[in-house]
Amino acid sequence: MNRWYLLVLVVGLWLGHETTFWVKDPLGVLLLLPAILLALGIFVRCRQLSRELATTLTELTQLRHALNEHAIVSATDVHGNITEANDKFVEISGYGRDELLGHNHRLIKSQEHSIDFFRAMWRTIANGQVWQGEIKNRKKNGDHYWTSATIVPFLNDKGKPEKYLSIRTDITTIKESQIQIDHLAYYDTLTELPNRRYFIEQLDREIKVANRHHTVLALLFLDLDYFKEVNDTYGHDQGDQLLKEAALRLSHCVRNVDLVSRLGGDEFTIILTDVDQNALIPITQRICHTILDTLSQPFPLQTATVKISVSIGVALFPVNGRESSTLIRNADRAMYAAKKQRDQYLFYSAIDSTTHSPIGKPPTPPTVHPAK
């Protein structure tokens, strides 16, 4: 329709060359005037739209520049093959753009996340929903980096994804700080062993597993004999040196599935798990003997070589307690009973419940029944 108005305008202007036309035919002028005004309006609107379009394109260019300066941006097809990669992606991954384009996003996959993690992610975006989360990726040189990622699916006319846009920010420094904070919260700064908090939480978890699967476990409480004398004689620095070496030796006395922790001072704990019911006592005894022998060996310190021993108390789950608090209390009581003679281990069932003194009674293998 606009073309016809423009045509009328052109014809009118041509007729306007004849000055007599405007005088002789004023009615024609009146008929032509609306077309002229409409054409002028269209012209003005086009100019306005052109300026708005230019402004919008400028803003989009600026936003794209800002996004590329801040974020790691990439696009993939529905199979995860990379179709676009910005400079930030190239820079942080260590791959050239030609090494990224056309290759699958698995190129930067680390071993941090499980298969279920990625299945859940793909299920979300394949259903046309935005996925957000934290992902650990691998650089070309083998180093790793963490990103906070948002993956946006672009849908076709049928509502099915035709491409995915991934916008990520580098949070490696934040994650490393968080890991350090978590380490300080759950690990002893002197020995690098798990601390009391970690030990209690892990014991609760192991008891839940044992209750669910009707299995057994042993809890060992250990106290270093003569540590106070060493600390008082040679000073705290050499006392700390002794604790670090004792922690290292204890770690070598247990299996990979067992947990060695430091409660504080010269007290340590060990949780023995993944043990067959009939093998629990023999394995516990063997480990206790190994610990007694290993910690009786001389400890070379900065200015002296010292000899110590260790007292060990043992409580068994479930016969000596079904709750962590009960198990801890009974292992502690057994340890203090062993402390009376030092350099020995005692099961809780082998001490008098009133005097907490050894009574020489050998422990009996625990019988596991479902919790009521």
Domain final residue pick, 121, 154, 176: 176
277-290 pLDDT, tens digit each:
899 999 999 999 99
Tell whether 167 and 250 lie within a shared domain.
Answer: no
Q: How far apart are the first and last CA of the chain?
A: 86
83-91 contacts, C-beta under 8 A, 24 or more apart: 83/163
Q: Walk along the chain (372 residues) and give the pLDDT tens digit of each residue.
A: 455 445 445 555 554 554 444 445 555 555 566 666 666 677 677 777 777 777 767 666 666 665 666 789 999 999 999 999 999 999 999 999 999 999 999 999 998 999 999 999 999 999 999 999 999 999 999 999 999 999 999 999 988 999 999 999 999 999 999 989 999 999 999 999 999 999 999 999 999 999 999 999 999 999 999 999 999 999 999 999 999 999 999 999 999 999 999 999 999 999 999 888 899 999 999 999 999 999 999 999 999 999 999 999 999 999 999 999 999 999 999 999 999 999 999 999 866 555 555 544 445 554 444 443
Number of domains in the chain: 3
Known catalytic membership, residue 266: yes
Within 13 Å, how many C-alpha atoms sit on residue 76's CB side? 19
Q: Are residues 75 and 155 in the same domain?
A: yes
Find out whether 75 and 163 touch, Cβ atoms under 8 Å.
yes
Dist CA 340 CA 312 (whole Å): 11
Residues 91 and 89: their CA atoms lie apart, in Å, by: 5
pLDDT at position 359, please?
47
Residues 224, 279, single domain; the answer is yes
- Do 116 and 22 lie in one domain? The reply is no
Of 266, 293, 332, 352, the catalytic one is 266
Question: What is the C-alpha separation between 139 and 133, in angstroms, rounded?
Answer: 19
Where residue 263 sits, what CATH number does that domain have? 3.30.70.270
In a domain, 147, yes or no: yes
Q: DSSP letter string over 160-181?
A: -EEEEEEEEEE-HHHHHHHHHH
In a domain, 151, yes or no: yes
pLDDT one-digit tens code per residue, 278-325: 999 999 999 999 999 999 999 999 999 999 999 999 999 999 999 999
78: domain CATH number is 3.30.450.20
